[in-house]
Amino acid sequence: MRKKLPILLPILILVATGAFTDNIRGPVVFISQLPVPGGTEIDQKLKPGDIGVLQYPDDDTFVEGVEVEIRVPDVIRNAPGSFAIYAYSRITPAPEQRLMGFSGTRLFLQPIPPGNRLFVLLPIRPASDIHSGPGAVAATTISSRDSFPLLFSIQPIAKGIPSQAMNAEFQLLIRPIPLSKGGAHIVIKDADTGKSISWAGEDSPVTVTLNGKPIPYQSDQYLLDPGLYRIDIESSVYNSETRTFDIDKGKTTELEFDMERPSAHVRIDAPRGATVFLDGTQISSLDHVRVSPGEHTVLYRIGDYTVSRRFNAVQKKDYEISLFLDIMINETK
């Protein structure tokens, strides 16, 4: 990504003209979709008067903007200031290759400089870190999703241009500008019901902090600077949770929490051949059975013999239940 640097080429002066609506005529020679970061860049050619169309990317999560690299043919470099690249947004009608006429809001026009290439940068996010620099110009207008598709055209801006120059091909390399952030997708669920828990509103059962600071609820992922983070989930209804995680640039970290209500744990010791029921349900795992606070009933069955007992579980306590069989011998005479 090109950061803010002093402009060394005086000719590279971007003319921001977002208020203008123009009529554009010409053949549509390509309609392409902006790839996601890491995808294959778009490689297309435009002759003066041709139209190229750029569609919004499928996934803009880690896209900060669009970079259009214009490679200038030799015949044009010998006549600087003869051509300019135009970009338009909010195009009507929807671009198709069979159509020849459109109207759109002009994003900018930029004279083609005498060098062999020019970079045009189009931010798609507010507060973007995209700025003009040596050999590059940045639009001041945000090209949000509803501004797309974008239309590009190279047009003559001088008289007496030779036919050889009018038939020259400009190479356009179009690629996304990656966002210098990663993502954290946070999902909090009730462990018993599987339902998602929202922490929006004062009556939320949980409070979520990131590195000690409360974060608002959102179903979409959070965009964060790369680094190490700590998430704390406090609750008066569930057991609290704490986790540390890494954020990598351009990647999403999935964080899912199954919130358990405070409970007791029971270990049941049963003799061989015994069947055990807890609150009327047969249990197969006898080690560390989780039970809710309150009264419960455990029942042993060995053949035709059954014995049961009630007990009261207190949250965050551990219990061990055992069955002892004894032989009673009484003297009768």
**Higher-confidence position of 54 and 125:** 54
Q: What is the distance between the terminal CA atoms of the chain, rounded to a whole angstrom? A: 102
The predicted model scores a pTM of 0.72
Q: Please, is 270 exposed, middle or buried when counting C-beta atoms within 10 Å of its C-beta (0-12, 13-18, 19+)?
A: middle
Question: Residue 290 and residue 261: Cα distance in Å, rounded?
Answer: 10
Q: Is the pLDDT of residue 127 over 80?
A: no
Range of the domain at 302: 264-322
Pair (255, 290) in one structural domain: no
Tell me the mean pLDDT in the region 198-220.
Answer: 92
In a domain, 327, yes or no: no
**Higher-confidence position of 5 and 209:** 209
Question: Residue 210 and residue 241: Cα distance in Å, rounded?
Answer: 12
In a domain, 5, yes or no: no
What is the domain count for the chain? 3
Q: Is the pLDDT of residue 316 over 80?
A: no
Average pLDDT value for the chain: 87
Question: Residue 205 and residue 238: Cα distance in Å, rounded?
Answer: 8
Q: Is the pLDDT of residue 1 over 70?
A: no
Q: Which of 45-54, 114-123, 275-284, 285-294 has the lowest mean pLDDT?
A: 285-294
**Higher-confidence position of 239 and 202:** 239
Pair (251, 268) in one structural domain: no
Tell me the mean pLDDT in the region 88-100.
Answer: 94
In a domain, 313, yes or no: yes
Boundary of a domain, candidates 149, 178, 207: 178
Q: Is the pLDDT of residue 9 over 50?
A: no
In a domain, 4, yes or no: no
Strand 182-190 relative to strand 252-259: parallel, antiparallel, unpaired? parallel
Report in angstroms the alpha-carbon separations of 3 from 65, 193, 219. 13, 49, 31
Pair (147, 21) in one structural domain: yes
In a domain, 156, yes or no: yes
Tell me the mean pLDDT in the region 240-256.
Answer: 96
Tell me the mean pLDDT in the region 236-246.
Answer: 93
pLDDT above 70 coverage of the chain, percent: 94
Pair (190, 70) in one structural domain: no
In a domain, 3, yes or no: no
Pair (160, 77) in one structural domain: yes
Pair (242, 271) in one structural domain: no
Q: Characterise 132 by phi-psi region: left (phi > 0), alpha (psi -120 to 50), beta (else).
A: beta
In a domain, 10, yes or no: no
* Phi, psi for residue 147 in degrees, rounded to 5: -85, -20
- pLDDT tens-digit readout, 36-91: 998 899 999 999 999 999 999 999 999 999 999 999 998 887 777 789 999 999 99
Question: Residue 82 and residue 121: Cα distance in Å, rounded?
Answer: 21
Predicted local confidence at residue 19, as pLDDT? 54
Predicted local confidence at residue 4, as pLDDT? 39
Q: Characterise 85 by phi-psi region: left (phi > 0), alpha (psi -120 to 50), beta (else).
A: beta
Map the chain to HEC letters: CCCCCCCCCCCCCCEECCCCEEEEECCEEEEEECCCCCCCCEEEEECCCCEEEEECCCCCCCEEEEEEEEECCHHHHCCCCCEEEEEEEEEECCCCCCCCEEEEEEEEEEECCCCCEEEEEEECCCCCCCCCECCEEECCCCCCHHHCCEEEEEEECCCCCCHHHHCCCEEEEEEEEECCCEEEEEEEEECCCCCECCCCCCCCCEEEEECCEECCCCCCCEEECCEEEEEEEEECCCCCEEEEEEECCCCEEEEEEEECCCCEEEEEECCCCCEEEECCEECCCCCCEEECCEEEEEEEEECCEEEEEEEEECCCCEEEEECCCCCCCCCCC
Pair (228, 290) in one structural domain: no
Q: Does the bond joining 57 to the residue before it have cis omega, within 30 degrees of 0?
A: no
Q: Is the pLDDT of residue 30 over 80?
A: yes
Q: State the CATH number of the domain containing residue 93.
A: 2.60.120
* Segments in the chain forming alpha helices (H): 74-77, 163-166
Boundary of a domain, candidates 118, 147, 178: 178
- pLDDT tens-digit readout, 134-176: 888 888 888 999 999 999 999 999 888 888 888 999 999 999 9
Tell me the mean pLDDT in the region 97-109.
Answer: 93
Boundary of a domain, candidates 241, 259, 277: 259
Q: State the CATH number of the domain containing residue 188.
A: 2.60.40.1120
Centroid of chain to Cα 331: 81
